[in-house]
Amino acid sequence: MDGLPDSPVMVSVQALHRMPYYLQYLKEQQKAGVTVIAAPAAAASLDLNEVQVRKDFAAVSKTRGRPKAGFAIAELIFNIEELLGYHNVHDAVLVGAGSLGSALLCYRGFDDCGMHIVAAFDADASLAGTEIGGKKVLPADQLIEMCQRLNIHIGIIAVPVGQAQAVCDQLVAGGVLAIWNFAPVHLSTPGEILVQNENMAASLALLSQHLQEKMKI
């Protein structure tokens, strides 16, 4: 019915994981001057199942009856970015301005993904007042107050394992609702807090296992 807001797009977790790859591919096609893409072409380029790609595109496309004729690339890009939250910039803070934290601070792709790191925090007093990647590094004891004052909802943890839980507790106390954890440790949080773990050791183990299996052939 006209005047009613669109229903939120519902996709599976697996489909959600595929969306960033679709987005990158579609933007490359758009730069090449392509305006309409068919599911078979996208599936072949991304080495995915054609039916799966068609269903994914149809799930995010708001134009009915288009699958057989192909999907408008501009519309797909907009809808996928909307689904992934790229149109809603979320302020975040990063804790731990060491090697990994510095690399994250210097990464320019976060703004394109709808996340803006407003500041970094570190327990090393010598880093206070410096800038990394254009982001100011502040003393760790200011973390809770700044999160509360700026209404920060995303916290990134890039500290050693032994400090991760204490930093997590500070972020929660500051009102953070979602934590991106790069420390290889399980964090204890209240039920309403979302924690996304990036365990590099686990990822490397999967790669190593894959290599071992392939090298046995």
- The pLDDT tens digits for 173-204 are 999 999 999 999 999 999 889 999 998 777 88
Q: Using CA atoms, how far apart are residues 120 and 118, in angstroms rounded to an integer? A: 7
Average of per-residue pLDDT across 48-73? 82
**Strand 36-37 relative to strand 194-197: parallel, antiparallel, unpaired?**
unpaired
Q: What is the pLDDT of residue 32?
A: 94
**Residue 193 vs residue 12, higher pLDDT:** 193
Q: What is the pLDDT of residue 3?
A: 38
Q: Using CA atoms, how far apart are residues 72 and 65, in angstroms rounded to an integer? A: 12
- Indicate the average pLDDT of the chain: 87
What domains sit in the chain, N to C, each tagged with a CATH number? 13-84 (1.10.10.10), 90-202 (3.40.50.720)
- Specify the pTM: 0.66
Average of per-residue pLDDT across 146-156? 92
